[in-house]
Amino acid sequence: MNENGENEPIEASTFDSSFELLKRTFASYFGSEPTFYVQAPGRVNLIGEHIDYSDFSVLPCATKQTIKIAVRCEKAVGRDETLKASAFNLDPKFKPAEFPIDPSFSLEPKENGQKWVNYVHSGFKGAFEYIQRNKMTARNGERFDGLFPVVKMCVESDLPAAAGLSSSSALVVAASLAAARSIDISLSKKQLAEVATKSERFVGTMGGGMDQTASVFGIEGKVLLIGFKPKLSFGYLSLPPNCSFVVCDSLVESKKASIAQKHYNKRVLECRLAALFIGKYVGLKNWKSVGTLGQLETIGPIECDLFELERIASECFKEDFYTKSEMEALLAVDLIQFFQSDTKLLQILEESDTFWLQKRAKHTFSEARRVRSFCELCQSFDSGNESEEKNIFIELGALMDQSHESCRNDFDCSCPELNNLVKEAKIKK
């Protein structure tokens, strides 16, 4: 994969007319002018749903819609561990809120209207922890002295919240960048993507990094091919010139943080459990160290392609769900003890007793295969052949149809409204 540009520093945004409303609102609310501005786009994932946390590649692209933050920093008088950052949101349903600027403080429970600020807090906490841990120096060459500034922020977004466009991740990316800029430290694009990925986990979600990486590296007219093993990497994929996509809002809200334990994080655990099961089933000596389904392609005495892994998943699991006691008997491990170092996974094990392993594994392997097929089709396309262009659109569309069916049937991450949208879109007018 092409990694050009990953070490380029990412800076604050240059003021233009798109920030005018934000500037006026900031001045009206805080009584002073912003010091600088940052912004981060959302993302649309073309194909590769829910496989980033299993270490398989994905194909997202950034949106034109962004989250913008106006920031004012003032030097604090001495060290003050009670110092709080203030944040105001132009959307009235998101209430003004504060959070402790010192990264040693954990995220605090918030009332419904103020929960949004935890994403801002997580970005600041993660960025400051990263900067302190790596003893980074400011652009003037001086090392950060640990004196955090007084920070005031105003947030504006034209990304719909909870609509599947990763507005939460865009907010974390923008907040992480704002945190670094507030103490005059430059992060590279790769550093920002890694910081934002880890930062959002403070909110409670166990994402794999697709959303934040797409927000940081997305460029107009290109799709990102993001890989996660053995490390984060990316490249740009060109689509056929006449190819376009309609992004349609089902109007169903999916609040990732509030449903994290019940749905999102549970899928992460189910995939990890499926990886352990398959590792033991095929006779890996070190099967307990298998962390993701993606690792099964290349480790141990076997090297399986995705078709073979899909076949093994159909063979080694029953179609129905497993209970915790069934899994412990088959693996001969105490799952609470096995995952004792991960409080999020422990909470899921304590609150749920139905785990669908075959369906999750089948989706993951088949979706990873579809991503690779999508890339191969785009890379082999001959722009001078009109009949080939029509055929490639049909083939790309078929892959996306299969992706939706797998999400609906095997990963249980669709909904009736979305299913109806897909059905209507396929009706020839």
**CB of 226 within 8 A of CB of 393?**
no
Give CA–CA dist 31/241, Å, rounded: 49
Nearest by Cα to 121 from 112, 111, 108, 132: 108
Nearest by Cα to 54 from 386, 328, 290, 383: 290
Give CA–CA dist 45/225, Å, rounded: 10
Angstrom CA distances, 27 to 88, 175, 309, stand at 11, 19, 58
Give CA–CA dist 392/399, Å, rounded: 11
**Mind telling me the catalytic residues?**
211
Neighbours of 193 (CB within 10 A): 26
Give CA–CA dist 50/200, Å, rounded: 16
Q: 391: helix, coil or strand?
A: helix
